[in-house]
Structure 1
Amino acid sequence: MQSLRRSAITVARNARSSLPRQPRRYAHDAHGSEHHGPVNESFGKGFYVAVATIPATIAFYKFSSTNTDERPLFTRLIESYSDLKTYWIERNDLHTQMIEQAARDKNLFLNSKPGTHIELSFPEIFNVGSPYNVPAGSGVNLDKLITKYQKEAFEENAKKLEQLKDGTLPAEQPFDRPSKNPPYP
């Protein structure tokens, strides 16, 4: 069965290639110049429309400006768009005001000092103690303690600012991908 299929394919391939092919003929090229002679071509509709547009435009302009009491038609058309000039002036002024306000806000945020108040969740913890053997009217002065913690907070913020300028702030560092074998199951 296999050999019959192979021989049929071979015969079909040989038959297909042995068919004579006709060369392509371009009859209109070979016979066009012999029988007809030179052909006069016209300019076409587009040429005549373009040429007719010039005098038509001049005539339209003359017709539109024949009345001496009014301005020409094209002038009136151009003046009809003068309202847009005031619209653009108002729009540009509003845009400029918004940009200036945004710049003032940015300047305010960048040049303002951070608050020096340190929030304590329970500041009375410093005054809690035994109520016994305390002389009346004696209270603890917390000014030194407050200045100490304000100084520590200021130093910590200055350190963070320096790290931010250097690009070494831990919160700003890129996230490292975890290893392929995480320590947890």
Structure 2
Amino acid sequence: MGTFFGSYVIYRIYKSNTESGNESWISNLISKWTPSEKVFEQRNALHTVAVEKAAHDRHLFMAQSQRETVGIRSPEQLNASGPYNVPAGALADVSAVAAHYERENQLAEEARVASMKDGKVVSLYD
């Protein structure tokens, strides 16, 4: 019921404004917040320039000659072996590193044997 009454009131206000020659407050509100045609023209000009530049760049890239290489379907096939389970020294010379740790282990073993001879440490294997 209220909808019909509200619609009738809005209709009467609109009709009285159009008869007197004034625009309605709704029309004034819409025209107040609607941007001018100049804004749309500037926006369209910027958009047109951007699209033309993108088309020019695309034509430049499409005009390039094809690469002389053959595309690989799966580039991981270039690495014949995986990075895991690679034996030490397979990729680089690690003899200096091995000698360093052998020396360290030899010194540690000599220190252990010397401390066992002094009786400070008891071996589990004796």
Superposition TM-score, scaled by structure 1 size? 0.35
Query: Normalising by the residue count of structure 2, what TM-score does the alignment of the two structures yield?
Result: 0.47
Mark the structure with the bigger radius of gyration. Answer: 1
The structure with higher relative contact order (CA 8 Å, sep 6+) is 1
